[in-house]
Each structure stands twice: as C-alpha cells, then as structure tokens.
Amino acid sequence: MKKLLNKVLVLFVFASLVLSACGGGSAATEAPAEATEAPAEATEAPAATEAPAATEAPAAAPENEGEVSIIAWPGYLERGATDPAYDWVTEFEKETGCVVKVQDAATSDEMVRLMSDGGYDLVTASGDASLRLIYGGIVQEVDITKVPSYNTVDERLQEAPWHFVDGKHYGVPYQWGPNVLMYNTEVFPEAPTSWSVVFEEQTLPDGQSNKDRVQAYDGPIYIADAALYLKATRPELGIDDPYFLTQEQYDAVIELLTKQGEIVPKYWHDYLVHMEDFTNEGFVASSSWPIQVNLLQFDGQPIASTIPVEGATGWADTTMMHKDAPHPVCAYLWLEHSLNVKLQGDLAAWFGSVPSVPAACTGNELLTDEGCAVNGFDDFEKIYFWKTPTAECYDGQTCITYDKWTEDYIAIQGQ
C-alpha cells in the first residue's frame, strides 16, 4: 500500500512539473514584445507561497500498523499449519505487511471476556455475543465504505439484527451454519432422527444404553438446544423462540437438562478434545460443529452428522472491531480480505460452514459446487441462530435473561 501511494505521489508531482513547463513555454512565445516593458506594479505578482490549493499534493493515506490481533473460533483463521491447502492468512500478510495474531476462543462468553479486557482489534462473534458487545459499548460502528466488497455479502446477512442495530453496521458477516448431531456410524447404521439420543436415556441401535456415551456443549447457550427439542416434543409449553423463555418454559427446559446430566459425563468446548473423545473414549453421539465431523471423516473415522426433525440451533458469525482497536488500518484491511471469494470458499470447505459471500459457492476447488448445499445454504430459514436471551420478549411477557441461563447451566454441569 505504501509503495503504491509513493508511486502515485511521484507521478502527481511529475505531471505538475510537466504542465507547469508547458504552460510557461506557451505564454512566453505568445506574449507581445511590449509585455517585457510592463510597469513596475505589474511585476508584483503574488508570492509563490500563495499558489492555488489545487496544486497541493493529496494527503497521505495512514500507514498500516504492521499487525492485527483477532479473537476467533478455532479453525477460523488457518495459515496452512494443519493442512497447507487451507491458508488464507499468509497471502494477506505478504500483500499488506499486517501480521495476523490469533487468539482462539472456545465459547462466546470467552470472546466477550477477552474483548472486554481490551488489546484486541477484531473478534469473530456469534449472535449470542455480538449484541452483548454492541450494547456494552465494547465494539465500534464499522464504516462499510472502507470495506468495498460489502455489497457482495448475502442479502440475508447484510442487515441481520445480531450486528445491524439502530441503522448502524457493527461488523462484517463471516460464516454461518447449523449445530449438527454428530454420531458414530458403527453404532447408528442409519442416521438418528431425533435429538432424544442425547437428551433422554435410551437403548441405542447397538443394544447398549446411551448413558455415559453422549456429550453436550459446554456453554449456557446450549439451553436453547434443549428448548428447541421441547418446542417440538412438548407443544403444550408454547415455546416459540428457544432464546425467549417464560418462567414456566424455562423451568421445563432446566428440568430436561438436569435429567440429561445423568447420562452426560462430559461437556465439550474444545473441538480437538471433542474429536479425541469420539476417537478414543467411546462417545457415540453429541451436538457438534461441522468442523469436527469434517476432520474426523478426513481421518477415516466412522463419523457422520445430521439435523434431526426438531431442527437445529446455529451461528452466524460477524467480524467486529473493538472500540479502541490498536491497529485500525490493518483491521479494516482484514475486514475487506475476509470477504475474499477464495477465502470464503476455502473456509467453508474447512469448517463445514456456509460462506457469507454467495459467489464463493461456485468455482472453489476445495468446497466444490455442491458444498454450499451440503453445508446448509438453503436451510437459513430453518436455523435458530444464536442470540442473547433478554427480559423483553414476545407478547409483552418477561423472559429469563442470559445471566440466569449462565448461573443455572453452571449448576447443572456441577451436579
């Protein structure tokens, strides 16, 4: 960027000199002889320091700071360390001179805490973190005129309520997708059709109980997964939105999760440990991100995934900028880079997600032209995307807030 700016300035100055030389020569050849006998006052031309503003060089673009620090979900910022085919960081660093420093975060709560501590530029926040970051004054409005590719973002995401608030953009959509039911194909010859295999004790197709063989996600937002299950299986509760629960609805959900604790010996948050549990520890079913499924299949493990009949929760992640971002120039360069079509397609292939830029769905060697459909591009309306539970909910009722979700889920895990 700096080299390009220097070239522009040199050309600008050179052009100005050429024009000045040409202009001076023309006047000299066309002026009448008596012009050399002009009265003294005519020779009092304005001082050279009063040249018109038009001749002033344009202001230099701000120097980039040489680095950008990003809090991200594991697997979101690959530089080829795991697989050289998946690298969307190295080229960015070469082109911009901005070194990318990554801090992985396994939960939305961890992301909010890290951003609150400060010192970071960007975060790939899911919907259950983004509004907390906005209303907490932790992130700043993003000037999308500085992100030229923003108009290529999926129209369903451009003004999504988890990052577009009061007519202001607070981030750039990155990727989205569902939370899937991952299962062992040797235990389940056919895909399980219901989330009941992880919520209620039962005998699995291999003739053994699911007790101590299933897992749940280690995060309060998982309460919404249980609420979604009850929305389908106990319609008398009247659950509409799994993130907005009245006291009665919430009590039923907590009861379900408490009973689930009797069959779930472990709650996962580290996706690599989660994969190890399925490979070596005898676990056979669990909620999961698609990346675990992909990596285990790459490793030849008997693993598959499905979205059961009750539906699924999901995440639509937005790259947001800290209000006191220490490296704003590099941060904006990354925001633009994050919408690069190849990056979007490669990341979707790696993570099992859906690109925020639809153009990435075709022509990508790693994703293939079928990849977006496989990852759920057409299921957008069926997914209940993560968002922060608030007291204000439908029909003027009072719902249970996220701080209560956190308190109760910690208690369930510790029982």
Averaged pLDDT of the chain: 88
Structural domain range at position 331: 67-177+315-385
Residue 42 scores a pLDDT above 80: no
HEC secondary structure over 71-114: EECCCCCCECCCCCCCECCHHHHHHHCCEEEEEECCCHHHHHHH
Residue 230 scores a pLDDT above 80: yes
Same domain for 304 and 321: no
Same domain for 336 and 295: no
Does residue 64 or residue 333 have the better pLDDT? 333
- Give the chain's domain count: 2
- Mean pLDDT of all residues in 391-399: 88
Q: Would you place residue 394 in the very low, low, confident or very high pLDDT band (cuts 50, 70, 90)?
A: confident
- Mean pLDDT of all residues in 42-71: 63
Give residue 133's identity as a one-letter amino acid code: L
Q: Are 122 and 319 contacting, i.e. CB atoms less than 8 angstroms apart?
A: yes
Same domain for 285 and 200: yes
Looking at residue 63, its pLDDT comes to 86
Question: Is 45 among the domain residues?
Answer: no
Looking at residue 34, its pLDDT comes to 37
User: Rounded to 5 degrees, what angle do the CA atoms 380, 275, 285 make?
Assistant: 65
Looking at residue 113, its pLDDT comes to 97
Beta bridge partners of 169: 164
Question: Is 283 among the domain residues?
Answer: yes
**Alpha carbons 48 and 306: distance in angstroms, whole number:** 76
Same domain for 199 and 146: no
Q: Would you place residue 59 in the very low, low, confident or very high pLDDT band (cuts 50, 70, 90)?
A: low
Own/partner contacts of 11-20, CB < 8 Å, gap of 24 or more, are 12/57, 12/58, 13/57, 16/55
Cα-Cα-Cα-Cα dihedral sign, residues 111, 162, 320, 336? positive
Same domain for 320 and 247: no
CB count within 10 Å of CB 129 equals 32
Burial of 49 (0-12, 13-18, 19+ CB in 10 A): exposed
Looking at residue 109, its pLDDT comes to 95
Maximum alpha-carbon separation in the chain: 114
Q: Are 121 and 70 contacting, i.e. CB atoms less than 8 angstroms apart?
A: yes
In terms of residues, how long is the chain?
Answer: 415
Q: Are 70 and 122 contacting, i.e. CB atoms less than 8 angstroms apart?
A: yes
Of 24-38, 107-121, 307-321, 374-388, least confident by mean pLDDT is 24-38
Question: Is 120 among the domain residues?
Answer: yes
CB count within 10 Å of CB 398 equals 12
**What tens digit of pLDDT does each residue of 61-112 get?**
578 899 999 999 999 999 999 999 999 999 999 999 999 999 999 999 999 9
Question: Is 20 among the domain residues?
Answer: no
- Mean pLDDT of all residues in 269-285: 96
Question: Is 184 among the domain residues?
Answer: yes
Looking at residue 62, its pLDDT comes to 72
Same domain for 401 and 277: yes
- Mean pLDDT of all residues in 331-335: 98
CATH number at residue 259: 3.40.190.10
Same domain for 221 and 143: no
Same domain for 380 and 303: no
Q: In 3-state terms, what secondary structure has residue 269?
A: coil
Question: Is 23 among the domain residues?
Answer: no
Alpha helices in 119-246 (DSSP H): 127-135, 155-158, 196-199, 223-233
Q: In 3-state terms, what secondary structure has residue 385?
A: strand
Looking at residue 45, its pLDDT comes to 42
Closest CA to 119 of 319, 333, 335, 327: 327
Task: Compute CA 106 distance to the chain's CA centroid, rounded to the nearest angstrom.
Answer: 13
Q: What is the enclosing helix (H) or strand (E) of 253?
A: helix 247-260
Question: Is 27 among the domain residues?
Answer: no
Of 187-191, 196-200, 290-294, least confident by mean pLDDT is 290-294
Same domain for 112 and 243: no
Looking at residue 188, its pLDDT comes to 98
Question: Is 143 among the domain residues?
Answer: yes
Same domain for 197 and 82: no
Task: Compute CA 411 distance to the chain's CA centroid, rounded to the nearest angstrom.
Answer: 30
Same domain for 162 and 96: yes
Q: Would you place residue 21 in the very low, low, confident or very high pLDDT band (cuts 50, 70, 90)?
A: very low
CA distances from 175 to 118, 163, 354 (A): 24, 13, 6
Both tokens of 235, joined, read: 């319609």
- Mean pLDDT of all residues in 274-285: 97
pTM, rounded to two decimals: 0.80
Same domain for 224 and 140: no
